[in-house]
Amino acid sequence: MKGLVIGVLIFVAVLIFGGVSLFFGYIGFGNEANRFENSITAAYSKNQTVYDNGWKTVVEKAQVPKEYTAQLKDLYTSALTSRYGANGSQALLQFIKEQNPTIDASVFKEIQQSIEIFHADFNQSQVELVSRKQEYQNLYTATTSGRFYNMIAHYPHIDMSKYDIVTSAKTQQDFDTKQAGPLDVFGKK
């Protein structure tokens, strides 16, 4: 009789220990899944911030040469008008060495560098988002415990399609058709 009681107590202890282990395993899985969902929404917000900041920087820097050119034109026009009059020089021969204003090409190089930085930063944030989504999917589909606990928890609790990467229409078309032509950088065919 004493052996039966000890056996029942051991069985109950194993059940309690197993139940507690499963409970804490479930809590740990849920916590990790929630951390992943939070990090995915944060990474997506970071994508938006990087994209917004990048294109604003490029657009704002691109406005500088336009304004610079307009001011240069005004300066050049007023200099020539004051030098030669409203009708221009009417001299038959003119021995004047002129130094005409030029547009500084470094402004355009700076814009090009901003575009390259924008692309690199945005690419990095997109890669980070894809990586987090993959790790999260692995958590609830690629591990035995993840699949087991997910039968109860039913993750993901967020709509993962809302957190897809941003691509261009051309990229989508190329991937849909499985064909890509050469880049037409200067719009000449």
pLDDT of residue 118: 92
- Burial (CB count <10 Å: 0-12, 13-18, 19+), residue 108: middle
The per-residue pLDDT for range 111-144, each reduced to its tens digit, is: 889 999 999 999 999 999 999 999 999 999 988 8
Q: What is the mean pLDDT of residues 58-72?
A: 76
User: Looking at this protein, which amino acid is placed at residue 53?
Assistant: N
Show me where the domains of the chain are located. 2-83+105-156
Structure tokens at 51: 């994209």
pLDDT of residue 94: 56
Measured distance CA(77)–CA(71) in Å, rounded: 10
On the question of pLDDT at 56 being above 60, the answer is yes
Between 2 and 126, the higher pLDDT residue = 126
* pLDDT > 70 in the chain, percent: 85
Measured distance CA(85)–CA(163) in Å, rounded: 64
- List of E strands, 14-147: none
pLDDT of residue 38: 96
Output the CA torsion 114→117→122→124 (10° steps).
Answer: 180
pLDDT of residue 169: 86
Between 60 and 185, the higher pLDDT residue = 60
- Please provide the distance, in angstroms rounded to a whole number, between the alpha carbons at the two ends of the chain: 94
Structure tokens at 85: 């009059």
Provide the mean pLDDT of the chain. 84
Between 163 and 168, the higher pLDDT residue = 163
pLDDT of residue 83: 63
Q: Would you give the DSSP letter of residue 158?
A: S
Measured distance CA(174)–CA(80) in Å, rounded: 53
* pLDDT > 90 in the chain, percent: 45
The per-residue pLDDT for range 14-41, each reduced to its tens digit, is: 999 999 999 999 999 999 999 999 999 9
Sign of CA dihedral 39, 122, 138, 163: positive
Query: 116-138: buried (b, 16+ CB within 10 Å) or exposed (e) per residue?
Result: eebeebbeebbeebeebbeebee
Sign of CA dihedral 121, 124, 130, 136: negative
Q: CA angle, 74 as apex, 68 and 75 as ends, to 5°?
A: 85
Measured distance CA(12)–CA(104) in Å, rounded: 84
Q: CA angle, 114 as apex, 111 and 118 as ends, to 5°?
A: 140
The per-residue pLDDT for range 70-124, each reduced to its tens digit, is: 777 777 777 667 666 666 555 555 555 566 666 677 878 888 899 999 999 999 9
